[in-house]
Structures are given as C-alpha cells and as structure tokens.
Structure 1
C-alpha cells in the first residue's frame, strides 16, 4: 500500500499539470482576436502597401478583360468582313464598279487595300502619265502600307496583355512578401505563435499572389491567342494583296 502512494501522487500531479496547461491554451485561444478571413475582410485587414498592390491588380484585371472583349469582337468582325469582301471580289463584278461602291467608305481591311491600290491605279491613268514604269511597284507599296496600318490596328493594346501576363505574378508576389514580413513583425511584437494569430496575416499575403495570378493567367492566354489570330489575318491580307497585284500587273502589261 505504501508503494502505491508515490505512484498515486505522481498521477495526481500529472493530471493537475495537464488540466492547467489545457486551461492556459484555452484562455490563450479565447484571448486571440477573431479575424475575418473573407475576401473583403482580408483586403480590409491587409497592410497599406498590400492594399495598393491588390487595387492595382484589380484595375489591371478589369483592363485586361475589357481588351479581351474588345479584341474578340474586333477579330470576329474583321474575319467576317474579309469573307464577305472576297465573296464579292471573286463574284465577277468589275473592278470599276466595286471601286465606286467602296471608294467613299473602305471600312474594313481588305477593302482598304483594294481601294488604295485602285486609287493609285486611277491616279496614274487619269493623270495622263506617259509611262507606266514603276506603277506596279507603287501599287505594291501603297498596299504594303495599308496592310501595316491594318495589322497595327489589330495588334493595338496587345502589349498591355503581355505586360500584365508577365508582370502580374511578380507584383502579386511582392504583395505576398510584404504581407508575410508584416505578419512576422506582428508575431514578434505579440510573442504569440498561435495559429489563430498567424493565419490571417499569411492568408492576406497569399491573397495578393492569387490576385496576381487571376490577372496574369487570362492575359497570357488571350495574348497568345490574339497574336496568332493577328498573324493569320495579316497573312490573309498579304495573300489578297499578292493576288490583286498580279491582276493589276497583267492589265498594266496589256495596256503597255
């Protein structure tokens, strides 16, 4: 019986120590302030620098999607206009009639190339030029300039998508690093490593990275898509310019 007394006393001490430790942990958890971990709450609780990063990424994302919608409509409309013009051009209608119908409003890429070439053609003949030497070269030049202008219109503001796609993740990472530094400073000041204290700051920091990816991923995807579409439409314009140049060159040879 005497041998059991020390053992029983030891168990009682251990039980009391465990109960005290659990009560301390519970009181520490209760003392930790409750944090709002919703998206709006993470933004409102973030550091001023991290808020600026988040606002910049939100504005960039809105700008990216505005460009995406605008370019999607532009490329779709340009493709349909090219289809309609080629159908009319190869339908057998005379070049003079087609030029008269389009001269006042060459409102699409392929029609602009046609009008520019026909205008140079008519300027030479109606001006009473004594020699046709260099006419074909001038026609090719005006068509090349028109193609370059149309391609520039198709590719305008794509640099914004490229910039956001490449820089967005790094901007978000900057906000994350700043947020984590702020969280560690708060931990050091409070001398409390409880997860309830650490988690909100880490969540705010990672939220900045997520916003950077949300802005960068669609920008990168659609930049590659639009560059490919612009290249295909430029090749289509150049193909039409070569065919039309051959037609005019043949007529120049017949009249010369």
Structure 2
C-alpha cells in the first residue's frame, strides 16, 4: 500500500475521519473533560477563600465575650450564623425558659450550616455524573464504531485488516477519551468531597462557638442593662 493511501494513524486525523456518531461522542467527552478542569480551578479558588474566611472568623469569635451584632460582621457564614442567633433571640423576647431558647437557636444554626454546605457542594455533582457516565459514553462510541467497521467489511466483501483497522482504531479511541474524561473527574470529586467535609466541620465549630456566646449572654441576664450594654460595646469592633 502506498503512503498516499495509508489510513490515518494520529489522533486528530482519526477524529476528523471518524464516523459522525463517533465524532459526536468524542466531542461530547472533550466538553465533559473541559468542564471537569473548569470546575477544578473555580471550586479550588472558592474553597480556598472560604477556608481563609472561616479561620479568620473563628479567631474573631474566640476573642468575643458576647454575641456580636451581625451588622458589624462581613458577609459570610459567620454573619449568617450570628444573624440566625439574633433572630431567635428577637422571636423569643419575653420568654423565661432559657433551655428552650438554646434549643431553638441550635436548630436555626444547624439549618444555616446545612445551607452553607449545600452551597459549597454546588457544582461537584457534575463531576460525579461525568465520572460515572463518561466511560459508558465512550463505550457507546466504541460499539458504534465497531459496528460501522463490520458494515464496511460487508460492503467491501473482504476481511483485509487494512479495511477494518481504521474503524476499530477510531472506536477504541472513543473509549480512551471516555477514560481520560472520567478518571480525573472521579479523583477531583473525591478531593472536593474531603475538602467540603473539612469545611463542614469548621462551620460546625463556628456554630458551636456562636451557641456558647448565646448561652453566655442568657446567663448574664441578671446583669444590669447598663453593664450588659457596656460589655457589648466593648466586644463590637
């Protein structure tokens, strides 16, 4: 066989000369791989900034002796937790049962925790979807390509390897691209799962600290209003 009639052997040429369905599968998998790396960059930046803010907030709450005013805090998870605590304090104004106030505050804080964890997980579900479906999408392209190769054999009335090899190579390339898309998606998804789990524990620590401040404020209710107001002014930046 002359060099001019040799079938394409490099990846790009096989993609260009592949069957339309196989081409569609490869393009779809390439887009899935692009989405995976985009999520990696965007989510890593988001979680890194969130982790830094949580650490700063933890240091601030450790230095507080009373529950700060939410308006004095920067927007974020701590402001949400403190606002939830103050909201319950306002709704419970006039009630004498301190245990009930603490329980309702804890329930509100748990709700805020779950909301922030859902926000942190946003986008990672796509990684799980890509990781679980990309190999099967690639396999579909492989099966279709092999079927197309057998059809070519029947039309050419020959079993020559030169006739069947290009189609089979294109088909196997679809499986390879499926694995290239799926493996990083699974690894990155597991990485983000661990990162979000660590941040969830950090949020729970912040929530516990806010609840401690609420409990401490309730126990100080025997103080005179002026003394309590002075203490709060000293704790508010």
Relative to the length of structure 1, the TM-score reads 0.78
2:16 alignment partner in structure 1? 44
What is the CA distance between 1:124 and its match in structure 2? 4.7
Distance 1:99 1:53 in 2: 51
Question: Which sections of structure 2, spanning at least 5 residues, go unmatched?
Answer: 223-237
What is the CA distance between 1:84 and its match in structure 2? 1.1
Equivalent in 206, 220, 225 of residue 186 of structure 2? 220
Does structure 2 conserve the Cα–Cα contact (< 8 Å) formed by 1:32 and 1:197? no
Render the CA deviation track for 1:84-135: whole Å, top value 9, x for unaligned. 1112222347533x63411xx42x22342133223433x257xx52434422
Equivalent in 72, 88, 101 of residue 72 of structure 2? 101
Does structure 2 conserve the Cα–Cα contact (< 8 Å) formed by 1:132 and 1:252? no
Distance 2:64 2:112 in 1: 24
Distance 1:170 1:68 in 2: 22
What is the CA distance between 1:147 and its match in structure 2? 0.6
Equivalent in 114, 136, 142 of residue 148 of structure 1? 114
Question: Which sections of structure 1, spanning at least 5 residues, go unmatched?
Answer: 1-28
2:86 alignment partner in structure 1? 118
**SS of residue matched to 1:95:** coil
Render the CA deviation track for 1:46-97: whole Å, top value 9, x for unaligned. 112111211211121122222221111111111111111112222347533x
What is the CA distance between 1:200 and its match in structure 2? 1.4
2:96 alignment partner in structure 1? 131
Greater radius of gyration (CA): 1
Does structure 2 conserve the Cα–Cα contact (< 8 Å) formed by 1:187 and 1:197? yes
Does structure 1 conserve the Cα–Cα contact (< 8 Å) formed by 2:67 and 2:213? no
How large is the Cα RMSD of the aligned pairs?
A: 2.3
Distance 1:164 1:214 in 2: 11
**Could you say which structure has the greater relative contact order, defined with CA pairs below 8 angstroms and 6 or more residues apart?**
2
What is the CA distance between 1:32 and its match in structure 2? 9.1
1:35 alignment partner in structure 2? 7
Over 3 Å counting, the alpha-carbon distance change for 1:179 and 1:32 in structure 2 is farther
Over 3 Å counting, the alpha-carbon distance change for 1:184 and 1:249 in structure 2 is same
Choose 168-177 or 37-46, whichever is displaced more.
37-46
Does structure 2 conserve the Cα–Cα contact (< 8 Å) formed by 1:116 and 1:142? yes
Does structure 2 conserve the Cα–Cα contact (< 8 Å) formed by 1:67 and 1:157? yes
Equivalent in 123, 126, 147 of residue 181 of structure 1? 147
Does structure 2 conserve the Cα–Cα contact (< 8 Å) formed by 1:147 and 1:234? yes
1:238 alignment partner in structure 2? 204
Render the CA deviation track for 1:125-153: whole Å, top value 9, x for unaligned. 7xx52434422122112211111110000
